[in-house]
Structure 1
Amino acid sequence: MDPVRSLIRGVLPPTGNRIALSVEGGPALERRAAQSLFPGKVLSWVDSGTSALALALLDIRHRRQAVPAPEVIIPAYCCPDLVSAAFYAGFTPVICDLAQNSCHYDQKALKNALSNNTLAIIAVNFLGLPESIDSIRRIVNPKLTAIIEDNAQWFPNRPGAQRTTSDYQTFSFGRGKPVNLLGGGLMVSNTSPPLETARRASSFTKRCLYYGKCAAYNALLRPSLYQALARNPLFKLGETRYHEHLAIRALPAGQSKLLTANIQTYWSHERVAEKRYRTRLSTINALSSLIDASNERLLRYPLLVESQKTRDTLIQKLNEEGLGSTKLYGDTIDRVDGVLTDRLRKAGGKTNAASFAQRFLTLPLHEGVKQHHIDRTVAIIESVVTPTE
């Protein structure tokens, strides 16, 4: 690609919509935008999605104190934050293989991973593709094993849309998430957890700094500015690393004031790129059946191709054009930098998860993706990948 044209076009961020800075006043947020999504549930507002997940695990452990060595099952391909939340709550993560050509559990492997110490299973909603809670329910004893629906990469697409049979749901409002506040999390449960997190007041200075940070983030989403970060070798954007979780804190008041406006903004986003990719890439995507089965809004478009060679070629060509493609985590969870593998338990093999990690890539779907980005992306993919049918 011509260097001058590259600089003019810039680089698309892989994910991230602008943060709406409208401050909502009035009654508590729980009784307005969010509570209406989860009627009859207890909402616990915390500082991150990892804290929300850790809080759910702490609640489960509190209710099953007779089990001295609690375990939680996680997918073999997942975000390392699942591991850090498990360690924080005193659980041993048990990694379980995926089904073939899927981002969800292999049911036989999941059944084999169960033990007398299994207190929880984390069911990941992967970029908007929900795990089948009912399938998991059929193989676990609900009195012994709780199901946590991890929705860090998804948020209900409209009022009244959220229906689930999981015991807990967790959400993230971090950078690049569906509802973006640059931080924050929510745990949804049937009863109040034993750990209370009182709402934190924030000073005028801290609020100003936070809103300034949001404004700077919004500016950096422009491809012409984002390329300064993406093309600088000193910034390792999108690198997947393990980070130890140190504390669970309440959601700061400054961030909570922006929640309602950003939920409404999220609901208003058009799904032009997603619809185009669903149609044009269906015959070359091994995940098409899962995507077609769900009408939920996707955070990024998930694409699973025939081989690692094809995936790597696509990543190279798309990113030479500044089109924001990523490998996401890049490898199975036991191979992520910083994860202490001796503290994990492996339940059988991880053949399918390893294959998934080698062949998977994502395409951006945020509001900054324009029609010319979509057309160039489709053209590159169709020139490299052979249709499966």
Structure 2
Amino acid sequence: MNLTNLLVAAAVAVAAPLVAAAIPRIVVPVAVLEVLLGIVVGPQVLHLLAVDRLVSGFSQFGVAFLFFMAGLEVDLGRIKGPPLRAAGFGWLIGMAGALLVGFGAAAAGLHTAPLYLALALSTTALGALLPVLQDAGHMDSALGRVTMACGAVGEFVPIVVIALALNTTHRRLTTVLLLNVFVLVVLAAIVLVRRWQPALVIRVTRATMASSGQLAVRMSLLLLLALVALANAFGLDVLLGAFAAGMIVSQVVGAHDVPDEHLERLIGRYQGIGFGFAIPIFFVATGARFDLHALFAGIGPPLLMLLFVGLFLVLRGLPSTILVRRAGLDVPAVPVTLLCATALPLVVTITDDGVATHHMPVPVASALVGAAVLSVLVFPASALALMERRR
């Protein structure tokens, strides 16, 4: 087994927060630095990192854990009602506009399947936004609740559409049936974990919270892997299983009144596994796979990249913001638009699948991923800067 590529990826993951700390005047999300450094050490520049099977495996686990963390943070009790309705209808309006853009692009000779392009333009990077909102102290604010609603819709709904519309394993009716079965399994699991309280499991979970047993973490990882495996067996997107696993764990925490001390330890363990290793490997591998040459092979792809950045704002951020404001929620329009328009992980997944199935040319995929990286680099920092000015 060759561990060299994994070693390089891990070294880049260590270097990214150090680079961020070395340039304090320039606010660059660590995830963006991981992608950029991945490009530098990858086959496009220094040829130090190739995404082999081992790195790819860790990368897939990393993106699954990113969606697990996103599902974990989705508190339906905090976002239900006007925020969730506005986010849902906003997504539908944006998706309709994105489909028009997709068909227009296909008619103009872009050689891209309209649905792939529309889905890539209709996602929100909730997993990438959560650390930013937490660090800035906005998780419990109106801005945080609205962003979480937009992010939950912008991650969960596209995954479901991907499972239904882009599935090549089963026929459409079979996929719908399997998706319904999967949803029933998840709902049954939520009911079970909320009502079932075996004394032995609860006692051992609490007793091992600060010891090497770590039963809570082990059960969470088992649930994550089980739902990912089930989604994969059904021919659905594995990220659907990861997101659902996070939501189930969130329901367990809410139903069993976990003490704050234990909850902080548990979240710390998750963050250590995810943001300490697995998730950075995903972002580094994303950079290493990024086709820089295709992006700058001519004037077209860079212009497309800038166009896609604008479309993220117009199609993803703006409709949700307008509906949120019309619902009477007192949140600043521009910061909400910027945060809801931030995209990356699902854009990578959709473009990878589009290139692999010949539904999207490499230059268009590179322009989309480049636009998503720019959105993570610019939008959250700009939104938080505007919020600071309002104080």
Q: Same fold (TM over 0.5)?
A: no
Q: TM-score, normalised by structure 1?
A: 0.27
Q: TM-score, normalised by structure 2?
A: 0.27
- Greater strand share, 1 or 2? 1
- Greater helix share, 1 or 2? 2
